[in-house]
Chain A
Amino acid sequence: MKPDWRTDLPVLVPEALRAVSTTTFPNDWRGRHWRPTVPAGLGLLLLFVACCGVAQAQAGPDQPSVWATLWKWTPLLLQGFLLNLAISVLAMLLGTVLGLLLGVAQIAQSAWARKPSWLVTQFFRNAPWLVLLFYCMYLLPFRVTVLGGTVAIPGWVKATLGLSLPVMANVSEILRGAVQSIPTGQWESAASLAFSRRWILWMIILPQCIRRMLPPWMNLYSILTMATVLASIVGVDELLTLTARALSAEDRPGLLLPFYSYDLLWFFIYCYPIARLTLYLERRYAVPD
């Protein structure tokens, strides 16, 4: 960090200016608080173009171009990607509702509510997402009998349930963290105004928590969106499954690189703005020191 050479003593101004011009800084810490001006997406775009270029160079003279092949499969891949997004939104909704309930139980006064909900939260937070997904895929029935009729449960519904479990645990922890970050003075002053515990929580603490919970909650959504591709391992027809199918239909090894970098690009385009918004909100809601 460069020292500040300005001075409010007029006599010293020429001296100070000379000092600036003659001092060399062997250790230049310019990078310390550097923020890039070049968009991050450009890097991935360059990578994608490079991958396509490599594939194009490998292609035989009678084969269609890489761009045309990618364009041909785009509608199908888009369908898969929309399923990814649908799974992510539904799992987030379900996980948030369950997680808020679990989180409120975690801060309850009764140990009977607190201890088990703590255990559930820790368990689902520490279990790998993929294992939880397997759990739901294999152990939930593939059809249920409701009022005499059988209803088949499609794979993506089970995947949504499986992904909402870790979301639930993380939301529960986010809520607990937010409530604990509210200074205890708030509880005490509200109690001295004769609010009951439920009212303190509902009218005073939780409204303040929403703001603190929003950035980590959005971060979680971004993580969840990126985890939806796990559903391809258990056979849901989402983006990655359809990509693999398109690749096997084309049967050209050279296309692997462009297709997978194409998938990466889509996720990046969706997730990166969320990450930027999260960062912005974090800065905005940050309590100044």
Chain B
Amino acid sequence: MQDFWDWFRWLYEATGINLSIFYDAFDRAHFLAGAIMTLRLSAVCIVLSVVIGIVGAWLQESRLKFVRLMVYWYIQFFRNTPPLVQLFFFYFGLGGLLTSATGSGEHVPLVGNVTWAIVSLSFFAGAFNTEIFRSGVQAISSTTIEAAESLGFSRLRIYCLIVFPLALRVSLPALTNNLVNLVKTTTLAYAIAVPEMLYVTSQIWSDELNVPELMNVLLVSYVILAGALAYLMRRWERALHLPGFGA
């Protein structure tokens, strides 16, 4: 393994291409920590945003007009404002309010920047997921629902057992797009100093002054990450495919 890392040192000495994140043990660990943070952020946000989407799509068919209106406002708010400003609104605005005073009179934030990034990005992607699932749910024909009703299913059971499993299959292509977009949006956490991949890389290039090399590493890393997610989602889509349902 050491030979592999040393090859990059040789590459630097021979060609001037300074990929310090491979041959320098400190930079390597730093970059790896950033990559893991990006993966963690993506994974948590994907799960939370999908949950928000499922619940939101369910609430949007609520019998209460007020609930429907709230979901509608939530979706329109997150869809039509910049995610970066949302992040600042959450982190600086709400985070500034949620502080606890210590004995020495200092105000310590109760919620850290990583948590705010997760909250903000999940709600952002969740708004799109709600719309995606809703259009999936609306694609299910009402005769299917009526058939379920006539079999005595309750509203919740119809949604959980019949409507949603079918709607998921309709929504998967759009969901894949949105989740890939979410992974790319995790870079915004850079702005509130979450040590994710972009943030640590920018720290490394300020030390080593190897901006072009690391820029390319960064681009390739994200393309691989997005590609891997898209590939997994395609596999899942194929696994869920029902003969005779959908295209």
Contact = CB atoms under 8 A, between A and B. Distances in A.
Contacts of A263: 85
Contacts of B202: 134
Contacts of A118: none
Interface string B183-207: 0110110110000001000100000
Interface stretch (A32-40, A94-102, A103-111, A183-191): A32-40
Contact of B187 (A1, A43, A128): A128
Q: Is the interface of A mostly helix, strand, loop or mixed?
A: helix
Nearest to B70: A43
B93 A1 contact: no
A286 to B, nearest CB: 13
Given A31-B61, A51-B93, A261-B93, 12 more contacts: A26-B154, A27-B158, A34-B61, A36-B69, A123-B223, A127-B223, A139-B211, A226-B80, A233-B84, A240-B84, A257-B96, A272-B76
30 contacts: A1-B146, A26-B149, A26-B155, A27-B154, A30-B63, A32-B138, A40-B77, A42-B73, A44-B76, A44-B81, A126-B223, A127-B184, A130-B198, A131-B187, A131-B218, A135-B215, A139-B211, A139-B212, A228-B82, A233-B190, A240-B85, A256-B92, A260-B85, A264-B86, A267-B80, A267-B85, A268-B77, A271-B80, A272-B80, A275-B76
Interface of A: 1, 3, 26-34, 36, 38, 40-44, 47, 51, 54, 122-123, 126-132, 134-135, 138-139, 222, 225-230, 232-233, 240, 253-254, 256-257, 260-261, 263-264, 267-268, 271-272, 275
The 5 closest A-B pairs by CB, nearest first: A43-B73, A40-B76, A257-B93, A128-B184, A226-B82
